[in-house]
Amino acid sequence: MAMQRVEWRDQENMGSAGVSGCSEGFFARRPLCRIRNLRERIGHEQMHISSDCWLAFPNSHSILPESVTAFSDPPPRVEFMSATVGLKATANAEAATTLDCARILGIDAELDQYLDRNRRKSVTELTQGAIDLVHELVPVKSVWIQFAGPRTFDGESRTQTLLVSRKTDDAIHREVSALADAYRLGNVESNRSLAEWEPMDIRSGEQIVIATPMFEVLPEVYIGILGMVLSGSSGELEIRLTKQLASRLDTLINLRNTATEHHTVIARSNELLDQDGPDGLGETLLLLQHLVRAEKAVIVYLNDPYDPDVPAHEREVNVLFAEGGELVSPNEKNAMIHEGLGGNLVEFAGDLGESKKAMVALGIMDHPTSEARPFICLPLKNRTRLPHIDIGKLLLIGGPPLDQTDRDVMNSIAMELDTKIVHYHRTKRNLRRSLSNDQVEFFVRRPTIANWFFKTPRNEEIGMVFADLCGYTEITRRIGDPVETIRVAREWIIREIELTASNGGYFDKDVGDCAVSLFGPPFYELSVDSLLNVPDTDALEALMLEIPPDPERYAYHSVMFALETVEAVKEFRMGGHELHVSIGVEVGKVAIGDLNGNLGSLTAMGNAMNMAARLQGIANPGEIIIGPNCRHRLDGYRRNNLAPNLPFTIDPGGEADLKGYDKPVPYFLVKPLAQ
């Protein structure tokens, strides 16, 4: 094997350097590093080269053989050295040891050239080519790698992929898989850590095998096994060479597994977070905890859409804790988050380490005097509408340091969580336009049930109520205060939503200062309490079939709601003016469904809906006018419910020519009984 020697001289030291094991053509293309420049860059105190023998060559990332020492102990951290390694043989090392080292380094350099030339190939192709190259350079019967596939994150075992050098004899090829399994299982059954998996001989008949593990050091994760079937007995050179190759190839395989794992995690998190409501948040938190091997993971996010008028400490939050691969229930310490701390925590933009109370509540500290675990905190934001406002926090607590690829995945998942929480808040905002708070909370947490209610079109006979503030436009013109106009209209609509829900109805929409409410299926018969124990939509449909439609009750509660509305409007003033409402009510069969695809957008269409709107249009301030079918259903309610004395009177109002109707329509006036 040819040896190249470089002489150098300076004012302080004299010496020589030699390199062996690589073709002269290789070094002609890639000259030896200049020892003087190398020495000057590292520093005299870290590199003494008076009479010792140095081996220096370019582009190596080798693990140093045990008989060779590095520049210093521990080796200096020099960033520019990524492309050059210098080795110093110990002063009394035998010449054979130096040559063995040079031989290993030469093989490593050849391998480096191969990987550099073929970096566009897939990792499997690269790995196969690498072990084929080693088989060419080393007198062995076979070189093989068994590497574990990426983690599946679903409890399944990782697949084991076996690659064998192409020069391997068929008979030996058949034995290699069993040899690899024997080495791996023997170490596992002995409960050895990966660092304790020493290279060892495995004898199978006449075959002698050396195997060594490949693993990611921080954190310690099994990647695979590299082995050689020897031609003769094993020696130090073969053991060193096996270690050397494993250290080079484990990085390559780990990059392949890591890229696949990250792709799998991101795809899986997308799938989980694509569910409605808060479903998928907990599973995604567990996925992320598993990926980065954190001790704990926490999500804290606002329960309601961000409202600048609500102080931070009064904002309710939702919290999810993951620990030990499971979602855990909050304990007494965590409960502090729900006592005003949570809202402040979400809004706080500083260092959480400033608050021991917060760190204890989140599990960063076990108690105020204990040591804090390392943690990473990422803000969750509404990046489209409120990019400067935090709507939640994602924390990973404990575990090994994250590399850049793990951080990239964490940031990607955090952005998906942003979108999920923003959609959750938007759904709640939409539902609040139509339902009471307890109904909203139920439907956002039972999205399957919510989808059945809102996205299943149906024909039903229901009650419809149109309630319009009389003269509101003229009053707003007179007072000329847009802030007051919007405030009163908003409070009026909120009051109507509350009254609708309390009477078993559904608030359809508001058109300016006119409110539209529906009374009947699918909301009327089923309260939130009755839905809590419904496991799925099949059970819900069965429950609905058990409850026969009752349009007489829908008519009765539509009128009761109208009477309450007439009283409720008396609480409102605008610019010193009293407000009044005119109401139209009718009962009839209409088509009910969701028009725009969002939860909370249920509406009704049909002749009876138009009738209720037209009747409201002819009602005077404070009047409630009902249509002929509503009157008919109220008579049935009185008779079938044994209620001859209703809490209101029904008087004929005459007939009216209504737009869209060929004949005059009879209508009736409803008034509360005198107290």
pLDDT, tens digit, 9 for 90 and up, residues 463-517:
999 999 998 888 888 888 888 888 888 889 889 988 998 888 888 888 878 899 9
Length of the chain: 675
The string of DSSP letters for 105-169 reads HHHHHHHHHHHHHTTTS-HHHHHHHHHHHHHHHS-EEEEEEEEEPPP-SSSPPPPEEEEE-TTS-
Residue 439, both tokens: 């109904």
Say if residue 111's pLDDT is above 70. yes
Lowest mean pLDDT among 163-167, 432-436, 582-586: 432-436
d(C-alpha 306, C-alpha 425), whole Å = 8
Q: What is the mean pLDDT of the chain?
A: 76
Torsion (CA) 161, 167, 169, 170 in degrees, nearest 10: 50
As a whole number of angstroms, the longest Cα–Cα distance in the chain is 121
Phi/psi of residue 8, nearest 5 degrees: -145, 155
Q: What is the pLDDT of residue 544?
A: 76
- What is the dihedral sign for C-alpha 351, 357, 358, 359? positive
Report the CATH architecture of 439-672.
Answer: 2-Layer Sandwich (3.30)
Amino acid at 223: I
Tell me if 131 sits within 8 A of 145, measured CB to CB. Answer: yes
pTM of the predicted protein model: 0.63
> CATH says 123-264 is which class?
alpha beta
Q: Over 80: is that where the pLDDT of 581 sits?
A: yes
Asked if the model's pLDDT at residue 596 lies above 90, the reply is no
**Chain segment 202-245, per-residue pLDDT in tens:** 655 567 788 888 876 555 667 788 888 887 666 677 777 787 77
Helix, strand and coil content of the chain, in percent to the nearest 5, comes to 45, 25, 30
Per-residue HEC secondary structure of 201-265 comes to: EEEECCEEEEEEEEEECCCCEEEEEEEEEECCCCCHHHHHHHHHHHHHHHHHHHHHHHHHHHHHH
549, amino acid identity: P
Tokens at 83, concatenated? 């492309």
pLDDT digits (tens, 9 = 90+) for 344-368: 999 998 888 889 989 998 999 988 8
Show the CA angle centred on residue 23, arms to residues 17 and 29, nearest 5°.
85
217 in Cβ contact with 183 (< 8 Å): no
The alpha carbon dihedral of 322, 328, 329, 334 has a sign of negative
284 vs 410: CA distance, rounded Å = 11
Whether 466 and 576 have beta carbons less than 8 Å apart is answered as no
Eight-class DSSP state of 645: S
Domain residues of the chain, as ranges? 3-117, 123-264, 297-430, 439-672
pLDDT (mean) for 241-259: 72
